[in-house]
Amino acid sequence: MTQQQKVLIALLSGRRDQNLSFAALVQLLENLDFSCRIKGSHHIFFKNDVDEILNLQPIGHLAKAYQVKQVREVLLKYQLAKGVDSDE
């Protein structure tokens, strides 16, 4: 199991919302073909076929819990969790 798969499982399970690495979450979104724009501490992620815009900010090295939940909801709504292959 790759690191990205572990992050995806942790994200989808909802049990590590308050303890998920910001860098791992950013890398996961980039691997799912989200584009990122950075403005100060705000990392703004968007994708052509996704209506929502994800605005993420770190707390130290962790992602904010409510923003992790927002990412999970978008991945489930648009069925993007399948985008991380088992070969990566």
Q: How many CB atoms lie within 10 A of CB 72?
A: 17
pLDDT per residue of the chain (88 residues) written in tens, 0 to 9:
889 999 999 999 999 999 999 999 999 999 999 999 999 999 999 999 999 999 999 999 999 999 999 999 999 999 998 756 544 4
Q: What is the pTM for the complete model shown? A: 0.90
* Residue 81, pLDDT score: 85
Q: What domains appear along the chain, each with residue ranges and CATH number?
A: 3-82 (3.30.160)
Q: Is the dihedral of CA 53, 67, 58, 78 positive or negative?
A: negative
Q: Which residues contact 36 (CB under 8 A, 6 or more apart)?
A: 26, 29, 30, 43, 44, 45
Residue 4 token pair: 């990205």
Q: Are 8 and 68 spatial neighbours (Cβ–Cβ below 8 Å)? A: no
Report how far residue 12's alpha carbon sits from residue 71's, in angstroms, rounded to the nearest whole number. 9
Question: Which pLDDT score, from 0 to 100, does residue 84 have?
Answer: 61
